[in-house]
Amino acid sequence: MYQKCLACVKKIKGIIGDFVPETAVVLGSGLGGFAEGIDVKFSVNYADIPGFPVSTVKGHVGKLLFGFYNKKPIVAAQGRVHCYEGYTPAEAVIPVRVLKLLGADTIILTNAAGGINENLNPGDFMLITDHISFFADSPLTGKNIDEFGVRFPDMSAVYDRKLIDIALSEAKKLKIELKEGIYAQVKGPQYETPAEIVALSRLGAQAVGMSTAIEAIAAKHAGMRVCGISLITNMAAGIWKKPLSHNEVIESSEKAQADFCHLLQAIIGRI
């Protein structure tokens, strides 16, 4: 796996030369609009990087954009893969590890998530303060890759406290409501049953999604500073008495794009 990541890095470096992104942003479902604000210097299609996992879901493109945002050198991963597409957790976190090897020591993970807590509403942003990953297999399964981190990494503060404070204070300045909560990762691709949502709620989760906890684990393992932001696109199953649809998820993320971009811009400006 390490060799695979190095091969991706080699291919990408052949394109971007000595550009070093300090911050990486992973853009979730329908949140790709952020890319429009980047002064893009290099764009690399996932499909052109040997061994890099390629997303297949509607609403997900697959590109790494290297450039300047708010004068900072960044890389944005537009589109991600999920384990339900058939990738192992270790394969699904190749992008995170490659971004680290390219020089990014901070990563902002964004996603679309279902709201479990009744205080959340579709269109809300939730800063991830912690996660529950029990229901997903660990991306660190298998022989440890010592080049990234230790066998038994500490997960007592996955989401960087300083980044949490920055995000909250920037949101306040922008008058964007930023709630806080715990994100639970499930395997999907089916949405949860109402009973599963009751169970997740009792475990302490406020939001549910299918992507981010394993990425945060890989990033933390590799010593990156992690920030996580969920866009609540829908209320989780059983909270509202209506079926869930993927279109609803895409529609609400499109509506929230402008605020989302302002918030990310402000956070990146402070990193």
- The answer to whether 76 contacts ligand HPA (rule: CB under 6 A) is no
Name the packing angle between helices 94-101 and 2-16 (round to 10°): 60
Tell me if 234 contacts ligand HPA by CB under 6 A: yes
Select from 44, 109, 208, 214 the one that contacts ligand HPA (CB under 6 A). Answer: 208
Q: How far is the CB of 185 from ligand HPA (least distance, A)?
A: 9
Q: Which residues form the catalytic set?
A: 29, 60, 82, 84-85, 112, 210-211, 234, 246
Q: Return the range that interacts with ligand HPA (CB under 6 A); candidates 3-11, 17-25, 166-174, 202-210.
A: 202-210
Nearer Cβ to ligand HPA (49/208): 208
Of 227 and 244, nearer to ligand HPA (C-beta) is 244
CB of 243 to ligand HPA, least distance (A): 11
| Phi, psi angle pair for 141, to nearest 5° | -60, 140
Buried b / exposed e along 123-152 (16+ C-beta atoms within 10 A):
bbbbbbbbbbbebbebbbeeeebeebbeee
Site for ligand HPA in 4-43 (CB under 6 A): none
> Is the CB of residue 212 less than 8 Å from the CB of residue 185?
yes
Q: Does 233 engage in binding with ligand HPA (CB under 6 A)?
A: yes
Residues 88-147 that bind ligand HPA (CB under 6 A): 112-114
| SS3 at position 47 | helix
Q: Least distance from C-beta 112 to ligand HPA, angstroms?
A: 4
Size of the residue set binding ligand HPA (CB under 6 A): 13
Residue that the structure tokens 């537009």 belong to: 78
Q: Taking the complex as a whole, how short is the minimal distance between the CB of residue 18 and ligand HPA, in angstroms?
A: 38
**How far apart, in whole angstroms, are the C-alpha atoms of residue 265 and residue 255?**
17
Residue closest to 91 by CA, chosen among 81, 76, 101, 104: 81
Which of 191, 201, 225, 271 lies at the binding interface for ligand HPA (CB under 6 A)? Answer: 191
Per-position DSSP letters for 166-200, written without gaps between them: HHHHHHHHHT--EEEEEEEE---SSPPPHHHHHHH
Name the nearest CA neighbour of 39 among 55, 21, 52.
Answer: 21
Q: Which residues bind ligand HPA (CB under 6 A)?
A: 112-114, 191-192, 208-210, 233-234, 236, 244, 249
